[in-house]
Amino acid sequence: MKLSTTAPPQRSKRPTLTPRRPRPPNHGTKPRALHILIVAFTSIMMGLLSGSRVPYDAARDGVFFPVFARLHPEKEFPVAGLLAMGAGTVVGFLIGRLTDLAALIQLLTAVMVIVQALGQIAAVVILRRRGRPRPYSMWLYPLPLVVAGVGWIAVYCYSDAAAPGLHPIELSLAWVVVGVLCFLVWARVERSWPFGPLPAAEEPETGEPGGLSTLEDEGRRGE
């Protein structure tokens, strides 16, 4: 019997290329992208227009730079505050691009919860107890405050778990401590509270002599 000395043909190890089927067009991509752009634009506009009023009111109360208390002569919006908020937004975006945008968002969210969200809830309770004019009423008070407080506290407590290794809670508390120290330095220089007397409360603007304030009168008319 004669044995064959030729080796059997080897199979090619190259993968077999199969033609890719074209994906069907996704008609929902463009509407979703458009909705995202609209939400992002409105969010930025809301932050700029509402955030610019914070330094404006602080400047009017004498606790911030006087230039921020000026309004546009025709449109009546705080020019310096709007420019400062826009510049801060651009700087924050650049920091997020150069570092980690997710970490920056987590940190700012944690700061926003304890400074703005919980601060607004506390302010509503304090203003009601002081008997200040309230042109707008809150239905089912204090239930909305309790629900909002519980929700924001849950968001804040979950910050570290949502961003492991970034410690947004610790960084937000450190940011608040820095803000408190800056305020104490300013109060010491200006001899304001707690190193001096409290500023006198401004009287509400009245539409008629001896009458209710304009905002309160409009609020009661709408009820």
Boundaries of every domain in the chain: 41-99, 102-223
Q: How far is CA 22 from CA 15, 19, 25, 26, in A?
A: 20, 9, 9, 12
Poorest-pLDDT segment among 111-115, 191-195, 219-223:
219-223
**pLDDT on residue 187:** 85
**pLDDT on residue 219:** 42
Mean pLDDT (whole number) for 60-82:
88
Residue 87 pLDDT > 80, yes or no?
Answer: yes
Residue 213 pLDDT > 80, yes or no?
Answer: no
Q: What whole-number distance in Å separates Cα of residue 152 and Cα of residue 140?
A: 19
Q: What whole-number distance in Å separates Cα of residue 187 and Cα of residue 193?
A: 6
Q: How far is CA 36 from CA 42, 45, 46, 75, in A?
A: 10, 14, 15, 29
**pLDDT on residue 21:** 66
More confident residue, 131 or 117: 117
Q: What whole-number distance in Å separates Cα of residue 111 and Cα of residue 114?
A: 6
Residue 223 pLDDT > 50, yes or no?
Answer: no
**154 closest CA partner among 113, 105, 103:** 113
More confident residue, 20 or 13: 20
pLDDT in tens, 162-212: 777 778 888 889 988 998 998 899 888 888 888 888 765 544 444 443 334
CB neighbourhood size of 107 (10 A): 21
**pLDDT on residue 181:** 93
Highest mean pLDDT among 22-36, 89-103, 137-151: 137-151
Mean pLDDT (whole number) for 118-147:
87
Residue 89 pLDDT > 80, yes or no?
Answer: yes
Poorest-pLDDT segment among 29-33, 40-44, 161-165, 182-186:
161-165
Q: Which amino acid is at 62?
A: G
Residue 128 pLDDT > 70, yes or no?
Answer: yes
Mean pLDDT (whole number) for 9-13:
57
Confidence of residue 30 (pLDDT cuts 50, 70, 90): confident
**Average pLDDT across the chain, whole number:** 78
Instruction: Specify the pTM.
Output: 0.59
